[in-house]
Amino acid sequence: MRVIVCETYEEMSVRAADEIAAVMQARPDCVLGLATGSTPVGMYDELVRRCDAGELDFSPVRTVNLDEYYPISPDNAQSYRYFMNTNLFDRVNIDKKNTAVPDGSAEDPEAECLAYEQKIAALGQVDIQVLGIGQNGHIGFNEPDSALHPLTHLTALTESTLRANARFFSQGEVMPTAALTMGMGTILRAKKILILANGASKADAVATLLSGMLTTACPASFLNLHDDVTLICDGAAMSKVNV
Ligand code: GLP
């Protein structure tokens, strides 16, 4: 695993945008696997800046997102579809028809998961998959458990994730307790993986990831099976790594 330790969140965001830009330049109609959460927000801002400056062209780009709350309407300001529209898609020259996020309003979640896998397969391989990491080591919404799912599936959120993400929901807003997420196999099929982690709250998860071992107690540790993973993080996220 390539590890890039940055001084600041701003530097992390620029380095992450460099990785995406390199893929877009090598293959203009690339497939970007995208993530939500607070961590990639700076990277999206930097990609928007580069698009405004004429350095990047999103018009031929296709995207697939990792996950979505369930149930949730795409118009709900807490949905990951809304997050992607406001943080990236509405700010660059991408064709929204080329952007995919699991449908949190699907009546039949199992059918939606199957259709989502088929959609990804039809796009061919994801060129680069961006990931954040949960405090409990989840990627997408693949939560620590005794067994992990290979494919896109409906999952219950753990107490740790509900607590960590409650900060995005204001009083009175109902937080979904389940989600649709790409599975471990879906994620690991990407050509390249870019994982971002900042802050001390991610230090335990990063330490387990960098131990090189695999454990379902930290789904991110399965990234050790992939041969092209880049971790971009700050010193606080690295603070529990034994060197
Ligand atoms: C969320 C998302 C993940 C994200 C993670 C970390 O629940 N499902 O894709 O990487 O939790 O979020 P944050 O970047 O806000 O710490």
Convert the pLDDT of each residue in 143-168 to its tens digit. 999 999 999 999 999 999 999 999 99
Query: Mean pLDDT over all residues of the chain?
Result: 97
Ligand 1-lining residues (CB < 6 angstroms)? 35-39, 66-67, 132-134, 140-141, 161, 165
> How many of the other CB atoms lie within 10 Å of CB of 216?
16
All structural domains of the chain with their residue ranges = 2-234
Read off the pLDDT of each residue in 237-241 and give the average, rounded to a whole number: 97
What are 68-98's pLDDT values in tens digits? 999 999 999 999 999 999 999 999 999 999 9
Q: How far apart are CA 208 and CA 206, in angstroms?
A: 5
Instruction: State the pairing for strand pair 192-197/31-34.
Output: unpaired
Task: Write down the architecture of domain 2-234 according to CATH.
Answer: 3-Layer(aba) Sandwich (3.40)
Mark whether 45 is an active-site residue: no
**Which residue of 138, 139, 163, 202 sits with most ligand 1 atoms within 8 Å of its CB, as the best mutation to test the pocket?**
138
